[in-house]
Amino acid sequence: KKLNIALCGLGNYATMLAEGIQASKYCHLAGIITGTTAKGEKWKTQYDIPEKNIYNYQNFDEIVKNKEIDLVYVVVPNGLHKEFVIRAAKAGKHVITEKPMAVTVNDCEEMINACNQNNVQLAIGYRLHYEPTHLEIKRLGQEKVFGKIRFIEASLGYKTYDNLDTKTIVDKNDRNEWRLNKKLSGGGPLMDLGIYCIQASRYILGEEPIAVTAQFGTVNDKNRFSETEESISWQMEFPSGAVANCNTSCGYNIDRLYASADEGSFELTPALSYGPFEGKTSNGVLKFPVINQQQTQMDEICKLLLENKKLPNHITGEEGIKDIKVINAIYKSAESGEKVFIK
Ligand code: NAD
């Protein structure tokens, strides 16, 4: 048996997920939830989706009656994750939501409660938790293969817009327009990309940051970045004394990770994107076979759900909320200029 998935939001990343689901062993793309009728028609033909498994944002709650759908995967803008996760949970469906889990800690708590109350499981789409190079750096760090980690550098940025000068007017047809809208995105590249730097630092160390300092970067395009940051840098302090120095931006390209330990180091470039990843340790090359990240993530999650097993802690809502707490602290520090302690 395969677990039947309905994708909610048919944008760019949903297309990558659909390909992963198509290639998977343990799940099947059985339904869609979309706000655009024409897109629904296209997906219906492309993925052979029965009419009765197609919903829009208004009639979505009727999915409660549809025994053919087991899980809803929410891939809409960040500010809408909460609404759709709660609606899916109330319909008795397991839920995966994309990162970042939501835009506030309160929203994350409501999502966790809704899933618990309706006896469904909640996962966050942390694709790198299944990627072999990342499993290895997690092992190198947490098992202290090169001794105690003292310092991490993690950066992820994409030059997302063509024109970064003060004369640019926001293009209203820009595919990334919602990412510039604070209500829909919750923030700029920190929400979208910086979260990978936070995650990697946390899973290399196996610790939670206790304090952060942060600085907003230069704003080259004041029209476009009136609500969200263009770039941000931050430093996280961990209980062991380790420090992580991180950057994210949609004004420049960067994708790298470096960890310095007492008896060596390890690094990846590229490190946090879709790969393929390459790197080295003090002992030599760090390279693993390339996998389909979305397929592997879906198979690992769906296999457990088919066996009625509990999902592992590192992908659940309780994990997602930890990143949002750190992100909140980073914004608070960048705004105040003060070090912010995380409780
Ligand atoms: P996108 O703009 O390509 O797609 C967003 C989808 O949401 C579109 O289908 C759009 O129609 C729909 N939508 C519904 N309500 C909307 C509204 N009010 N405004 C705008 N769009 C609305 O974005 P995307 O890149 O697919 O990102 C979607 C989610 O996936 C985000 O949470 C993002 O962080 C996440 N994501 C994750 C990864 C990853 O590697 N895990 C990669 C990219 C994006």
Print the SS3 string covering 50-101.
Answer: CHHHEECCCCHHHHHHCCCCCEEEECCCHHHHHHHHHHHHHCCCEEEECCCC
CATH architecture of 132-289+314-341: 2-Layer Sandwich (3.30)
Per-residue confidence in pLDDT tens, the chain, 343 aa = 999 999 999 999 999 999 999 999 999 999 999 999 999 999 999 999 999 999 999 999 999 999 999 999 999 999 999 999 999 999 999 999 999 999 999 999 999 999 999 999 999 999 999 999 999 999 999 999 999 999 999 999 999 887 666 666 655 556 678 999 999 999 999 999 999 999 999 999 999 999 999 999 999 888 889 999 999 999 999 999 999 999 999 999 999 999 999 999 999 999 999 989 999 999 999 999 999 999 999 999 999 999 999 999 999 999 999 999 999 999 999 999 999 999 8
Residues with CB under 6 A from ligand 1: 9-14, 35-36, 75-78, 80, 98-99, 125, 127, 175, 178, 184, 192
- pTM, rounded to two decimals: 0.97
The Cα 141–Cα 286 span in angstroms is: 14
The token duo for 165 is 């000068």
Give the distance (Å) from ligand 1 centre to CA of residue 70: 22
Nearest CA to ligand 1 atom 30: 75
Give the distance (Å) from ligand 1 centre to CA of residue 339: 32
The fold adopted by the segment(s) 3-127 is Rossmann fold (3.40.50)
Q: For tokens 């001794």, what's the residue?
A: 147
The Cα 100–Cα 287 span in angstroms is: 28
Ligand 1, residue 36: give the atom nearest the CA: 11
How far lies 311's CA from each of 2, 32, 97, 122, 204, in Å? 17, 24, 14, 8, 21
Give the distance (Å) from ligand 1 centre to CA of residue 12: 7
How would you label 125-145 residue by residue, b for 16+ Cβ within 10 Å and e otherwise? Answer: bbbbbbbebbebbbebbeeeb
How far lies 203's CA from each of 6, 198, 212, 236, 269, in Å? 30, 9, 17, 13, 18
**Residue ranges of the domains in the chain?**
3-127, 132-289+314-341
The token duo for 298 is 């879906």
The Cα 181–Cα 63 span in angstroms is: 30
